[in-house]
């Protein structure tokens, strides 16, 4: 009968990887302390080092998205005002569409 593979939470992986990056304990000591294979710690440590920049880049992307959303809402408001204005002037609409009288 095969055993089910152990799955670790993201918080646990981050905790172990941060300790490995600090190098207060060796990878072998961390592996023994947490009961996991040293290769896993090395893999988690590598993932953390490679993707750490994304944590800080995400904030910049969020600011750009918020600015884009604000600009789109501004444009929607302007178009709504123009639409309401044209709807209140029935004689303007046929000329706006290129019709002639």
Q: How confident is the model at residue 96 (pLDDT cuts 50, 70, 90)?
A: low
Task: Take residue 81 and report the two structure tokens written for it.
Answer: 């005002």
Q: Buried b vs exposed e over 42-75: b needs ≥16 C-beta within 10 Å?
A: eebbeebeeeeeeeeeeeeeeeeeeeeeeeeeee
pLDDT at 65: 81
> 0.75 exceeded by the pTM?
no
Task: Take residue 74 and report the two structure tokens written for it.
Answer: 């501004």
Task: Take residue 15 and report the two structure tokens written for it.
Answer: 């905790």
Q: In this predicted model, what pLDDT tens digit does every residue of 15-72 receive, in sequence order?
A: 999 999 999 999 999 999 999 999 999 999 999 988 888 777 765 566 678 888 999 9
Q: How confident is the model at residue 87 (pLDDT cuts 50, 70, 90)?
A: confident
């Amino acid at each position: 009968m095969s055993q089910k593979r152990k799955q670790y939470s993201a918080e646990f992986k981050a905790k172990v990887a941060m300790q490995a990056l600090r190098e207060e304990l060796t990878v072998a000591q961390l592996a023994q302390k947490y009961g996991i294979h040293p290769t896993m710690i090395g893999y988690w440590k590598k993932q953390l080092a490679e993707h750490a920049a994304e944590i800080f880049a995400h904030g910049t992307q969020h600011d750009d998205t918020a600015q884009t959303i604000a600009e789109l809402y501004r444009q929607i408001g302007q178009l709504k005002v123009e639409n309401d204005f044209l709807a209140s002037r029935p004689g303007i609409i046929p000329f706006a569409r290129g019709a002639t009288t």
